[in-house]
Amino acid sequence: MKKSVLIVLAVVVATVLGSGPASAHHSLSPYDMQHMITMKGTVTAFNFINPHVSILFDVKNDKGNIEKWQMDLLAPNRLIRLGWNAESLKPGDQVTFYCHLYKDGRKVAYLDKVVLANGQELSNRSANGGNAA
Asked whether the predicted pLDDT for residue 9 surpasses 50, the reply is no
Q: What is the pLDDT of residues 54-75, one digit of tens each?
A: 999 999 999 999 999 999 999 9
What domain range is 79 assigned to? 37-123
- The answer to the question of residue 129 being in a domain is no
Number of structural domains (the chain) is 1
pLDDT of residue 98: 98
Mean pLDDT, the chain, rounded, equals 84
Question: Could you tell me which residue, 45 or 132, shows the higher pLDDT?
Answer: 45
The enclosing domain of 82 has a CATH number of: 2.40.50.140
pLDDT of residue 27: 80
- The answer to the question of residue 11 being in a domain is no
- The answer to the question of residue 64 being in a domain is yes
Question: To 10 degrees, the CA torsion angle through 103, 107, 110, 116?
Answer: 150
- The answer to the question of residue 75 being in a domain is yes
